[in-house]
Amino acid sequence: IRQVAEQARGISKQEKAIIEAHLMFLADKSLKAKISAKINDRLSAEYALKQVIFEYVDIFKAMDDPYLSERSADIMDMGRRVLGNLMGINEDSDQAFTRDTILVASDLSPVDLLAIRQPNLKGIVLAKGGRTSHTVIMAKSLEIPIVIGVEGLFHNVRANDYLIVDGVSGFVYPNPKSEIREEYDRRRQETNRALKKMEGLRDLPAVTSDGFSVRLGANIGLLSDIMLAQQYGADHIGLYRTEFPFLLRKSFPTEEEQVDLYTRVLEKSRGMSVTIRTFDVGGDKFLSYLDYPKEDNPFLGWRSIRLSLDLEDVFRTQIRAILRASAYGKTKILFPMITSIDEIRRVVKLVNEEKEILDKNAVKYDRDIALGIMVEVPAAVPILDRMLRYVDFVNVGTNDLMQYLLAVDRNNKKVAARFDALHPSVIATVDQIVSVCNRFEKPLCICGEAAAVKENIFLFVGMGA
């Protein structure tokens, strides 16, 4: 604060008084004593500071005098400033973890996870979150164990605790007894042995014992995911979420950058077909460089294809880049969150116009490139037969289909138990989609996390998906 005051020359008397008041507040003995007591109680300095600042903010806010009540904002500001210093946010630190680290946080956005990922990040525990949130999906593809929706997390875990994070059962053990550690060492070895054993199955065709063959695809978001898809024996990339590479940037990638990226994905996929989905932002994935309206319900708002169609230049650039990349490997284009025939018509028109432009300029691309839609908004289901006239294939986005059908936020821990792929309405809806697609002989795949659960796979395959 002193530095800021010194740098800001010519400040008014009033401003000077405010700064002095801030410094006086920070020099206050009882403030320090409160924070110290919490640190002695083994809270981290950052968390202790935050708690005490909030106590003061609440006291000031509750004051009848409007002048004093408004001082709560000053206290908040001071708190933030000190917190920033404590966390080194003002110092361009690269946040490198010097040893194996488990991240414990209230919540974490997919962008934060991308920014913070590093080899020493060994696990994540969040107080909030939902099973199909994009943070969880991304943690899976980075092979980082994650446990979400942990109650009482901050009362039970302290900085420098030793933690076991079991992403399979959803248990977190702070400072476990030696028996538990030994048990987990044993389980780890067992899991490794089981994985080794499954390696023998990996290259066998995915065919049931009565001869029904299943195409096994993988979802990817980052280039590095392709290696995992190959390692685990996927035969195609069923969904490439292109918004993930968009998230870490400072501006929309140019056409050339996108062509380069998609071409690299195709090359790395070594002959596997790749379904490239146009960017699906909004919902829980926000681009730092795009101005979003303040929305009460972002999942019901300016998201996905709606946003793409409104940003036509950006959308056209992406379509052109995908078309150009299609000259280098088997590519399909997939459009997310389609709700109406009108949207499909607009999308198909854009693709055709871009193809014409490429033709005029004699640029190579796959003229027969397949176009598909994600069926993930329930409104698409009753009109699916008519939608299929315009497209070549369907991906069922179970994550969103379930959230919109059951009115259960996919990221909300409070209702996570209601996010149920085996709800009769989900089963009936998927069944309806499968039978329409089979009737019109349009290829279909079941996408989303529900397709990664063994029991569900039996059901979907039994339906003829």
Cα dihedral 345, 347, 353, 359 sign: negative
Residues in contact with 209: Cβ distance below 8 Å, sequence separation at least 6, in sequence order: none
Name the H helices within 41-65.
45-61
Per CB under 5 A, the segment of 17-25, 110-118, 346-354, 373-381 that binds Mg ion is 373-381
Q: Which two tokens stand for residue 302?
A: 């300016």
Q: Which residues, 385 to 404, sit near Mg ion by CB under 5 A?
A: 397, 400
- Residue 153 interacts with ligand PEP (CB under 6 A)? no
Q: Which residues, 392 to 431, sit near ligand PEP by CB under 6 A?
A: 397-400
447 binds, among Mg ion, ligand PEP, none (CB under 5 to 8 A by kind): ligand PEP
By beta carbon distance, the residue nearest ligand PEP is: 448
Binding mask 52-91 for Mg ion (x = CB under 5 A): ----------------------------------------
- Residue 448 interacts with ligand PEP (CB under 6 A)? yes
- Strand 331-335 versus strand 370-375 pairing type: parallel
Q: Which is nearer to ligand PEP, 280 or 366 (CB)?
A: 280
Task: In angstroms, give the least distance from the CB of 288 to ligand PEP.
Answer: 19
Task: In angstroms, give the least distance from the CB of 45 to ligand PEP.
Answer: 37
Counting Cα atoms < 13 Å in the Cβ hemisphere of 52 gives 25
Residues in contact with 202: Cβ distance below 8 Å, sequence separation at least 6, in sequence order: 232, 233
Q: Which two tokens stand for residue 132?
A: 């199909």
| H or E segment to which residue 105 belongs | strand 101-105
From residue 306, alpha-carbon distances to 249, 375, 381 in Å are 21, 15, 18
Name the H helices within 171-254.
178-202, 223-231, 243-247
- Residue 280 interacts with ligand PEP (CB under 6 A)? yes
241 binds, among Mg ion, ligand PEP, none (CB under 5 to 8 A by kind): ligand PEP
Task: In angstroms, give the least distance from the CB of 398 to ligand PEP.
Answer: 5
- Closest CA relative to residue 403, chosen from 422, 374, 382, 376: 376
Catalytic residues: 134, 447
Task: In angstroms, give the least distance from the CB of 247 to Mg ion.
Answer: 15
The Cβ of residue 312 has, within 10 Å, a number of other Cβ atoms equal to 11
Task: In angstroms, give the least distance from the CB of 374 to Mg ion.
Answer: 6
Q: Which is nearer to ligand PEP, 50 or 410 (CB)?
A: 410
Counting Cα atoms < 13 Å in the Cβ hemisphere of 224 gives 10
Q: Which is nearer to ligand PEP, 102 or 387 (CB)?
A: 387
Q: Which residues, 28 to 87, sit near ligand PEP by CB under 6 A?
A: none
Task: In angstroms, give the least distance from the CB of 165 to Mg ion.
Answer: 27
Give Cα 462 to chain centroid, integer Å: 30
Q: Which two tokens stand for residue 326?
A: 């299609």
The Cβ of residue 455 has, within 10 Å, a number of other Cβ atoms equal to 10
Task: In angstroms, give the least distance from the CB of 102 to ligand PEP.
Answer: 25
Number of residues that bind ligand PEP (CB under 6 A): 10
Q: Which is nearer to ligand PEP, 153 or 459 (CB)?
A: 459
Q: Which is nearer to ligand PEP, 153 or 465 (CB)?
A: 465
Give Cα 288 to chain centroid, integer Å: 14
Name the H helices within 132-177.
134-141, 153-156
Task: In angstroms, give the least distance from the CB of 158 to ligand PEP.
Answer: 34
Number of residues that bind Mg ion (CB under 5 A): 3
Q: Which is nearer to ligand PEP, 262 or 419 (CB)?
A: 419
- Residue 376 interacts with Mg ion (CB under 5 A)? yes
Q: Which is nearer to ligand PEP, 194 or 407 (CB)?
A: 407
Binding mask 355-394 for ligand PEP (x = CB under 6 A): ---------------------x------------------
- Residue 241 interacts with ligand PEP (CB under 6 A)? yes
- Output helix, strand, coil percentages for the chain, rounded to the nearest 5: 55, 15, 35
Q: Which is nearer to ligand PEP, 217 or 397 (CB)?
A: 397
Q: What DSSP string runs through 398-416?
A: HHHHHHHHHT--TT-GGGG
344 binds, among Mg ion, ligand PEP, none (CB under 5 to 8 A by kind): none
The Cβ of residue 228 has, within 10 Å, a number of other Cβ atoms equal to 16
* Binding residues for Mg ion (CB under 5 A): 376, 397, 400
* Binding residues for ligand PEP (CB under 6 A): 239, 241, 280, 376, 397-400, 447-448
